[in-house]
Structure 1
Amino acid sequence: MLFIALASVAAYKALPLLNPNIGDVAPLDASCDLRAGPCTSILSDGSRVSFAIKTEGIPLVKPLDLEVKLDGIEASKVEVDFIGLGMEMGFNRPQLKATDVGQYVGTGMLPVCIRAAMEWEARVLITTPKGLVAAPFRFITAKEGAVLPGSKE
């Protein structure tokens, strides 16, 4: 009984970390290609979130240089939540550091995946004085030697 009680308390405390209460979510831009460069999303108030994975090829199990630029948003914290679509890949949310007004950088890493190609969502989470806002960006990774879906190779 004690174990069940402790596990319940731990789950209750972890729930906001795993599923944060997000106030505003930018629409997903299906034309975004993070392999080609940064992508920008616009929130409902007109503010902008630009996200880039600077590491060429977006490799698995290697450090990824991440950059977020904010325009019209006052942030106290910026994180990037990597979510595997179609397969649970575990908690993966690096926090970025402010380097200039509205600019945040950091390093993340994607885990190894058994699939030849995997679709991901990088959800930029921004803590503001008004609450948490998010901007989703999708991309695909491929194992070395595999062809990305939709490519002409």
Structure 2
Amino acid sequence: MLVLALAILAGGAVYVAWPILFPKISHSLSPDPACDLRAGDCRLTFPGGEGVVFRILPREIPLIEPIRIEVELEGLQARKVLVDFAGIGMNMGFNRPELKPVAGQGFAGTTRIPVCVRKRMDWEARVMVETPGGLWVAPFRFYTLK
């Protein structure tokens, strides 16, 4: 009986967590290899002309300390903007802050990048824009140094 109850509880947890961890994406792009977030803002453009501009401050992207993340949207009406940070080649845990609207300036928020055992860690920040027409995802790659 206990095993059955635990199985039902685990199944319910998976049912609730699945759409949060793996949302259905309606529009996505590939990262721009020329983008260098340490040098300046990066912009990705969807085939219809919609754009996402992403920046991380400070530019050197420190570890453990708070960093500011900013997003500007072009041609997209956002209900919500989140940025999902994922380690490339190494699971670094769940880190998906929701950004707040900033009057006339897009969306902004703060987060922290965890320390990795490697000297250099490569990351992908997926800007996730929830719109009435679905979820738009623009990925930006960067690295951190220990």
TM-score if structure 1 supplies the norm length?
0.90
Indicate the percent of aligned positions where both proteins have the same amino acid: 48
**Distance of 2:104 and 2:118 partners within structure 1:** 39
SS in 1 for 2:110: strand
Alpha-carbon distance between aligned partners in 1 of 2:19 and 2:115, rounded to the nearest angstrom: 26
**Residues 1:89 and 2:92 aligned together:** yes
Gaps of 5+ in 1: 144-153
Are 1:7 and 2:10 an aligned pair? yes
Checking the alignment, whether the CA contact within 8 Å between 1:84 and 1:120 is kept in structure 2 is: yes
Q: 1:146 is matched with which residue? A: none
Task: For 2:31 and 2:144, locate their aligned partners in 1 and report how far apart those are by CA, in whole Å.
Answer: 18
Match of 1:54 among 38, 47, 57: 57
Asked if 1:30 is matched to 2:43, the reply is no
8 Å CA contact 1:70–1:102 kept in 2: the answer is no
Query: Counterpart of 2:45?
Result: 42
User: Distance between the aligned counterparts of 1:95 and 1:55, measured in 2?
Assistant: 19
Secondary structure, in 3 states, of the residue corresponding to 2:10? helix
C-alpha contact 1:41 1:48 (8 A) present in aligned 2:
yes
96-105 or 86-95, which deviates more: 96-105
Residues 96 and 106 in structure 1, CA contact (< 8 A), matched pair in contact too: yes
Contact 1:80–1:125 (8 Å) recurs in 2: yes
Structure-2 residue corresponding to 1:137: 140
| Partner deviation per Cα, 1:26-69 (whole Å, 9 max, x = no partner) | 23100000000110000122110000002131011110101000
TM-score by length of 2: 0.95
Number of aligned positions between the proteins: 143
Output the amino acid matched with 2:16: K
- Quick one: which of 96, 100, 104 aligns to 2:103? 100
Question: Does the CA-based 8 Å contact 1:27-1:43 persist in structure 2?
Answer: no
Is the counterpart of residue 119 in structure 1 residue 122 in structure 2?
yes
Across the aligned residues of Structure 1 and Structure 2, the Cα RMSD in angstroms comes to: 1.0
Q: Partner of 1:76 in structure 2?
A: 79
Structure-2 separation of matches of 1:115 and 1:128: 37
8 Å Cα contact 1:27/1:42 also seen in 2: no
Whole-Å separation in 2 of the counterparts to 1:4 and 1:115? 37
Q: CA deviation at 1:101?
A: 4.2
